[in-house]
Amino acid sequence: MKCYETVWEIYNKCSNNQMRDIFIEEIETDDIEGFLHRKFKGKEVSYDKSVLEDGTIVYDIVASGIKQRYSFTEI
């Protein structure tokens, strides 16, 4: 099973507030998309996946109308 450092960013919907909530944790999984499906279970979700040059896997997510980003860096 692979171990990842994850950064979960939840963007603020208020136009005058540029801050966002950021959560950092370590997870173990062999199925990142399965992890995301469990995380957002019961919500309407769409996402775009990209892989950065350093191998970080980034998912830009819209879940129930809220823009979010999940980044997975293998450790």
The model's pLDDT over 14-43, given as tens digits with 9 standing for 90+, comes to: 766 667 789 999 999 999 999 999 999 999
- Residue 75: predicted pLDDT: 93
Q: Mean pLDDT in the chain?
A: 92
Strands 45-51 and 57-63: antiparallel
Q: Would you list the domain boundaries of the chain?
A: 2-74
pTM of the predicted protein model: 0.87
- Residue 48: predicted pLDDT: 97
- Nearest CA among 39, 38, 55 for reference residue 4: 55
Sequence length of the chain is 75
